[in-house]
């Protein structure tokens, strides 16, 4: 379950959003409704941009394995936002293990 990702050390919030609109479907953690909508909209935009960049990379380098892009990470000074499929997590850099978070998002989104 998505809410169980909050049990991972450093995970502050997780959300599942609608692919067509970016509207939040489920949100867990300490986010206001406004922040949840902003987060899921950002996640949808990043998902689309990442897929576009992966498609271009695959075209230009002529090597297999770049698409589909399965996830993305924006790493800030204190926090990181991780996305996989239609799910997104906000994590504390000082506490979280990004590999664990991405694996958990992949498992939750059925990429594994």
pLDDT at 112: 46
pLDDT in tens, the chain (112 residues): 899 999 999 999 999 999 999 999 999 999 999 999 999 999 999 999 999 999 999 999 988 888 888 899 999 999 999 999 999 999 999 999 999 999 999 999 886 4
Instruction: Find the DSSP H helices in 1-112.
Output: 33-61, 98-108
Q: What is the DSSP string of 41-70?
A: HHHHHHHHHHHHHHHHHHHHHT-SS--S--
Name the superfamily (CATH) of residues 2-108. Dynein light chain 2a, cytoplasmic (3.30.450.30)
Token pair 């995970």 is found at 11
Distance from C-alpha of 31 to C-alpha of 28, rounded to nearest angstrom: 8
């Amino acid at each position: 379950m998505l809410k169980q990702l909050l049990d991972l050390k450093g995970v502050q919030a997780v959300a599942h959003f609608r692919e067509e609109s970016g509207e939040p479907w489920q949100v867990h953690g300490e986010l206001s409704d406004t922040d949840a909508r902003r987060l899921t909209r950002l996640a949808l935009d990043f998902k689309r941009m990442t897929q576009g960049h992966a498609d271009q990379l695959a075209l230009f380098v002529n090597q297999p394995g770049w698409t589909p892009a399965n996830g993305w990470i924006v790493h800030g000074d204190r926090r990181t936002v991780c996305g996989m499929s239609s799910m997104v997590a906000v994590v504390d850099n000082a506490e979280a293990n990004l590999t664990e978070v991405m694996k958990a998002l992949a498992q939750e989104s059925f990429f594994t």
